[in-house]
Structure 1
Amino acid sequence: MSNSHVAAATGHRRTDLPFVAVTMGDGAGIGPEVTVAAVVEESILGECRPVVIGDAVRLRTAAKSIDLDVEVRPIHAVEDAVHDARTVNVIDLALLPEDLPWGELSPVAGDAAYQYIKVASELTMAGKVQAICTAPLNKEALHAGGHVYPGHTELLAALTETEEVSMMLSTPKIKVIHVTTHIGLVDAVAKIEPGLVQRTIERGHQALVRAGIPNPKIGVAAINPHAGENGLFGYGEEAEKIAPGIEKARAHGVDAVGPLPADTLFFLAGRGDYDLVVAMYHDQGHGPVKVLGIEAGVNVTVGLPVIRTSVDHGTAFDIAGKNMADSHSMVEALHQAAEMATR
C-alpha cells in the first residue's frame, strides 16, 4: 500500500450521507492497516461518512507502516468528524499500549476489539450511526481477553439482544447465506431443522430485496453428496430437515428451490442461475466463496436490528505491520454498508 491512492482533500462534503462506525479489529493484526487505508478512499467518502472506533496511537502507527500520509484525528462524537481524504476520524478508546507487537496474540488486543464492537453497537442502536463495518478480530485473543464468543456474528447478536442471525457472504459473482456457522460438522447436522432452514431462507430473501433485487431466486444446498441420492447417502436428512423448510418459505412467497447437490448448485449460481445460495454449514459456503478470492468477499450479518458488514478475511498476523495487507475487502465492506444504509 502507499498513499498514491489518496486524493487531495476535496473540501465541502455532503452532510446527508450515512455515518458508518468502522471498528479497527484486533490491533495486533492487519485491521488497523486496512482500516486507515479504506476510510480515506475517495470512492467511500462519496458514499458515507466513516468514523473509526479504535485506538488513535495504533492507527497512526498503522498509517506510518503503509506509508499513508493522513491525520488521525480523535473526536468525542460522530458529529464532530471532518470528512476529507487526508483525515481519519477516530473515537479513541485508548486501550492499547504504544509498544503492542504486531502479529502476536494479545489478551489486551482481544479485549479492546470487543470494546470497539460494543461502542459501535451502542452508537448504532442509539441512531448516531447508520451501519457498522468491522475489521477482523482474532477469536483466540477475544477469548483470552475474557469474551467467549465464536466471532463477530454471535457477539453482535448478544450485544443487540437478537435471538437468531445469519452470516451471508457476498461477492460480485455469488452470495451465500449459512444455516449454521461456527460449530463442528456433526453438531451442524444435528442443529439443522426445517424451522431454522425456513428462517434462514427468508432472512436471505429479505436481505436481497433490501439490496435492490425484488424477487431473488434462491438455491438451497443439500447436506449429503448428490442431495442424498434418494436415500443412498446419509439418513434422509434432505427430506426430513431441509425440504419442509423450503416448502414453508415458498408458501410465504419466496422463490426457493432445493435441496440441490451443493457442487452443482454453486456452479449454477456462479453462472447466474441463482441470486443466493443457502449453505447448510460453514465450509460448504465459505470454500467456494474463498476460491473466488478473499479480497472480493464481504461478510454481512443478516437479522440484526443494525446493518453490519465485514471483511471476509482474518487478522493475518504473519503479515501485520509489514505493508503487505490488501484493503480491497475492507473498501468493499464499507461500500456495501453505505449502500444498505442508504436504502
Structure 2
Amino acid sequence: MTMLLSEEQALLGDSAQALLADQAPVSQQRRLRDERSATGFDDALWRQMVDMGWPVAVLPEAHDGLQVGYLGLGQVFEAIGRQLAAQPLLSQAVLAPELLIRAGSPAQQAHWLPKLAQGKARLALALDEESGRHWPAPMATRIEPGEGSGTLHGAKHFVFDGVGADGFLVLAGSADAPSLWLVPANAAGVQVERVAMIDSRNTACVRFDGVALDASMRLDALPAAQALEQVLDRARACVAAEALGLLRAMFVTTVAYLKERIQFDVPIGSFQALQHRAARLYVELELLESCVRGALEAIDAGDETAIALHASLAKARAADLCEKLANEAVQLHGGIGVTDELDLGLFFKRARVLQRMLGDGAYHRNRYARLKGF
C-alpha cells in the first residue's frame, strides 16, 4: 500500500478543511445544541456540501459520481472531525447510496440516487436495536405474513440522521434470512422519535407497527447480510477517519495548553512526565493514521476480504484511542478540562459516541480475530 493521495484527493481535503473552518466553527455545534435543532445539523452548510459534490464523491460514473475514492472522502471526514461539524454525510454519501447500489433494484436506484446526490431527500439506515449490541446481534424486528409481502413490526434505535429522513433502510428478520426494506417515512405505522446522544446530536428511535410491505420495497439484488457487511465496512473506515481528525484536534489543543499553562514559574509542558504522556499519544495517533489510510486504500482497491480486515483494525484502534486520548486530554487540562466553557468537552463527548458507533473496540478486535481464523 502506498497510502498517498492523488492531487484531486488532496484538493478535496483542502477544500473541505477550508469550508468547514469558515462555515462550521465549534460555536456552531454549541448553537445547534443549545437551540435543540430538529435535525441536528445546519441545513445551509449541508446545501453547500451537496453543491460541492461530497455526497457523490465515491459513487461510480454510472450514477453521476465523482469517483475520487475513499482516500479522498476520508480527507473530508477527517476535516469534519477536526471541526466537530455535525452533518449527515455518513448516511447520505456512504450508507444509503452504497446499499442502494449493491442491493437496490434499478427502479429504486433511479428514484433515490439522484435525490440523494442533489440533497433533495435523505435516507437513514435502521439497523441496531439494543445499546452495545451491534449487527449481527439478534433482531426483534420481524416480518409477519399478510397481504403483499407482509407487515413490518419492531423498533430500531440509534438510527443516525433518522430525524427528518424521507425513508428508512430497514433490516428485518424473516423466515429464511435477514432482509432489507426501503420504508417511506410517511408510511402508515411508522413513528419517529428524536433521541439526543451524549454529544447532543440526534439519533432516532423508529417504530414500525404493522407497516404494509410490497415487493417494490425490498432490496434483494444482493443478500442483505453480504450487502450490509460491505457497506458497514466502508462506513467504519469513514468513522475512523472522523475520529482521527477529532483526536488530532484534541491533541493539538492539549499540547498548546501544556506550553502555555504556568506552574512553579515554568510551563507544565517542561515536566518530563507530561512530555512522555504526550509523546505516547503522538505515536498512537500516527499508528491510527496508518490504519485509517490502509482501510481507505483497501476500499479503493476493491478486495472485500482485505477491506473487512483493515476496516475492523482501523475502527478498533480508533475506538480505543477515542477513550485513551480523550481521557488524557481532559486530565492534562486539569480542573478546566471538565468545564462546558472549554471546547474540549464537546470533543470529548463526540469521541465517546464515535467510540461506540458501528462497533466498539472489543467488537472489532473479536471480528478481526475471527476473520483471521482464530
State the TM-score, normalized to the length of structure 1: 0.30
> Which has the larger helix fraction?
2
State the TM-score, normalized to the length of structure 2: 0.28
Task: Tell me: higher relative CO, structure 1 or 2? Use CA pairs within 8 A at least 6 residues apart.
Answer: 1
